[in-house]
Amino acid sequence: MLAMGFACGPAHADRRVALVIGNSAYKSAPKLGNPANDATLVGGMFKKAGFDSVDVRLDLNASEMRRTLREFAGRTRDAEMAVIYYAGHGIELDGANYLIPTDATLETDGDVLDETIPVERALFAVEPAKQLRLIILDACRDNPFSKTMKRTLASRAIGRGLAKVEPTSPNTMIAFAAKAGSTASDGDSRNSPFAAALVEHLPKPGLDLRKAFGFVRDDVLKATSYKQEPYVYGSLGGDDVPLVPVKPAATGPQANPQEAVRRDYELALQLATRDGWEAFLGAYPDGFYANLAKGQLNKIAAEEARAAAEQKAKAAEQQKARLIAERAQKAEQEKAAAAAKAAEEMRIAAEKQKQIEQARAEAAEHQRKLAEAAAAKALAEKQAAEKAKAELAAKQAAEKAEQGAKPSTDRQMPEAETQKVAALSPGPTSTLSAADLSKSVQSELRRVGCLASAAESEWTSAAQRSLTLFNKYAGTQFEAKTASVDALDALKAKPGRVCPLVCNFGFKADGDQCVKITCRAGYRVGDDNECEKVPEKKPVAARDDAKKRDAERKQGESSPPSSQAKSSGQIYCNSAGCRPVRPGCRLQAGTSLATSAEMRISGVEICN
C-alpha cells in the first residue's frame, strides 16, 4: 500500500537542465589555463540560478563527450529549457564547426571527422526542450592543431575561429565568445572575459536573454580593448525569455515543501514494517526523514535478531532436555549445556541491542517532532512578516492615492515657500560615509590583487596608485584621486584577481601567492630572479714581497751570534767524530756533564 502511494505521487520533471564541459588538459597540444576554471564558474552560476539539473564535466575525451551528450539528451525530453556550455578548443572545417576532445591528435584534416564532436551533435542534444535551446561556445581560441595539421586537399578550407551558424529549429540560440572568423582571448586572470561577463549578466532574474547577451558583448569589448566581440546566432519570439524567471510575490500561506515527505513518513511509521520503510527510502533516499527511516529499519533488524536468538536458545534448551531424558553420555550433555548457555548469551545480547535501537529510534522521533515544530514556527513568522509587509505597502499606496485626490488649490504654495521647502529637503545621500567608502574600495582593491597594504579609512597615495593600476588592467577610467561608489561597484563585479601578482626578489608567483625560489645544489638566485650556476673560484698566485725578504736578510746578517743559536753553523765534536748541533739544542763549555776529554775538544751539547 505504501509503495502504491509513493508511485501515485506527483512527478517532478526537470524544468531547466544544463550541461557544462571544460577541456583544458590536451594531450597533443599545450594545456589551456582557463576552460576548467570557466566551466566550474559557469556550472556554479547555473546551480545558484536554481536549475533542476546541472552536470559539470572536465577534460573529456571523445568517447566520454559522446556518452555525456547522449545522457544529456535523455534529460532534455521533459525540460522547458536546455543549455550546453563548452569551453576548450574548437575547429572549423569546410564551413562546419567541431569541438575538440582532450585525446585528439588531428595529424591530418581527415582526422577531424573521426576524432572531434560536431556542433550539430550538441544541437541534437538540446532539440527536445520545449521553450529554449541554448548553446554557448567559448571555443574560439587560437587553435594550435590547425598549424601542424596536414592537408589532404589543397582546396580544403580550415578557418580561423569558428564558422557562422544559422539554427534551423525555432527558439534556438548559439552564442560565440567571438564573432565568426575571429579568435577569443583567454584573459590574464583566472577566468576568461567572456565567462566572467556571462556569470555577471545571465542569472539576473527576469532579464531577457537577448538583452543579457548584449550586456555580455559590451563587457567583453571593454575588457579586451575592443579586440573581441561576442556574437549570438538564432532568434527568439516576441516574449521575453529570461534564463532565471522572476519569483512571484507570495500572496498567501506557502505550502511546506516537506509536507508530502512528512505525510509519507507518518504512514510508514503506522505500518512499522521492513517493506514499508524500504519503500519510503526508495522514494526519499536522502534528507532528514530518510535518516529517521534508516533508524526505524535498524530497530526492526534488532528485533528480528532478538527473535532469532530467542528461538535458537529455546531450541538449545529443548535439545538439552531431550539428551537428559534419553540419559545421554555426560560429554554430550555438557556440549548441549554449553550450546544452550551460548544461545542464552546471544539472546541477552540481542535483547540489549533491541533496547538500544529502540531508544535511538525514540530519541530520533523526539528530535523530528521538535524540528517540525521549529519549522512550523519559522514558517508562521515568515508568513506573518510577509503579511505585515503587504499591509504596509497597501497602506502606503492608499495614503498616496488619498494625497493625489486632494484639490489642487490645497497643494499649491507660493513660489518662495516652495523654494524654501526644496532647500530644506535633504538630497539623496550615499549610505556609506567617506571613511567607510574609502576603506571598502581599498578592501576590494586588495581582493583583486591591486593593493598590497591593509585597507584604511583615509584615501592614501598607495590607494590612488592601486586604483590607477586597476584602471590599467580592467580597462576602466575611474578618477584615482578620490574613492567613488562607481569604482566600488566595478570592483565588486570582478570575481577574481585583476592585477598581476608581483613578488619580491627571491620569490616567484604561484597562483595567488608568492613562494620562495629554491635552487638545486651548485646554483643560486641571480639578478634576473632565476636560478644560475655558482661560478668556480680561481686560485690566486701569492707574490713574494722582495722588500720584506731583503730586510729579513739584512737583519740576520747584522744581529750578533748567540750562545744559544739554533743555526746549523754550530758543530758538536767528540771522540766519535763531529756533527751539526741538533735543532733546539745549544753548545756549552766548562760543564760537569761532560768529561774533560770532551770539553777539551768542543764542549757539551745541552738539549734540556
* pLDDT grade for 136, boundaries at 50, 70 and 90: very high
Closest to 268 measured CA to CA, from 292, 251, 252: 292
**Segment 368-376 mean pLDDT:** 86
Q: pTM score, two decimals? A: 0.43
Predicted confidence band of residue 155 (pLDDT cuts 50, 70, 90)? low
C-alpha span between 49 and 18 (Å, rounded):
11
384-443 pLDDT, tens digit per residue, is 888 888 888 877 777 777 666 554 444 444 444 444 434 444 444 446 788 888 889 999
* Residue 569 banded pLDDT, cuts 50, 70, 90: low
Q: pLDDT at residue 357 above 50?
A: yes
Check residue 129 and give its pLDDT: 93
Query: Is the predicted pLDDT of residue 570 greater than 90, yes or no?
Result: no
- b/e for 361-372, b at 16 or more Cβ within 10 A? beebeeebeeee
Contact predicate 253/383, CB 8 Å: yes
The share of the chain scoring above pLDDT 70, in percent, equals 81
- Spatial distance between the Cα atoms of 287 and 294, rounded to a whole number of angstroms: 11
Backbone phi and psi for residue 564, each to the nearest 5 degrees, phi listed first: -110, 30
Q: What is the mean pLDDT of residues 560-571?
A: 53
In the structure grid, which three cell numbers stand for residue 249, read together?
Answer: 510575490
Average pLDDT over residues 71-87: 94
Instruction: State pLDDT tens for residues 523-562.
Output: 888 877 789 888 877 665 555 556 667 777 776 656 555 4
**Full DSSP string of 582-602:** PTT-EEESS-TTS-HHHHHHT
Mean pLDDT computed over every residue of the chain: 81
**Domains of the chain, start order:** 16-235 (3.40.50.1460)
Q: What pLDDT is stored for residue 161 in this prediction? A: 72
Has residue 595 got a pLDDT over 60?
A: no
Counting DSSP H helices and E strands in the chain, the numbers are 19, 17
354-363 average pLDDT score: 88
Residue 497 has pLDDT above 90, yes or no: no
Q: Which residues contact 70 (CB under 8 A, 6 or more apart)?
A: 125
Q: How far apart are CA 317 and CA 333, in angstroms?
A: 11
